[in-house]
Amino acid sequence: MAMETDMSDKMLTGLVAGLLSDTSVIVNIGANQGVTEGMRASVIRQRRVVDPQTREQLGTAREVLVRLRVESVEPKFCVARTTLSIRRKQGPLDELSSLTRVRQRVTLDPVASAREGEEVRVEVGDLVELVWPPETGSVGGGRVVRGGRRV
């Protein structure tokens, strides 16, 4: 699969090259292809959809496996770490539950248990889409004006 650069959408695509740790994914594109620290990334699994009756190929279904943020960039590869998410930690009673920040773990192990929220199995060769963060002032859909107020 060839790596693509689509500057109109500010997106780069690469492939999972391996894991550095259980929270860090190595991607096979780097500074030479325009990757910068802070870019957001998603590991995507693509599956061909075939009609079970006619065997006609209907297209490709895409599933986001895990979301990442680029933390280090080399000329030919980058390392992206799983993002923090907020999860409800259940206590003995609903009133005692609390929120906690967790970092999703990734594995290459084909027999890893896939208990929700614990580990996500990625494969070498899975598609990775990288995008630049939104421009300053564009978060929330409004312009930031003097005094920090959004309009």
pLDDT in tens, 39-92: 999 999 989 999 999 999 999 999 999 999 999 999 999 999 998 765 555 655
> In this structure, are residues 29 and 39 in contact, taking their beta carbons and an 8 Å threshold?
no
Question: Please, what is the average pLDDT of the chain?
Answer: 77
CATH number of 5-134: 2.40.10.340
* Separation in Å, CA 131 to CA 54, 57, 122, 128: 38, 29, 20, 10
Where do the domains of the chain lie? Answer: 5-134
Residue length of the chain:
151
Assess whether pLDDT exceeds 70 at residue 1. Answer: no
In single-letter form, the type of residue at position 68 comes to: L
Bigger pLDDT: 122 or 3?
Answer: 122
d(Cα 10, Cα 89) in Å, to the nearest integer? 36
**What does the block give as tokens for 7?**
């500057």
* DSSP symbol at 34: T
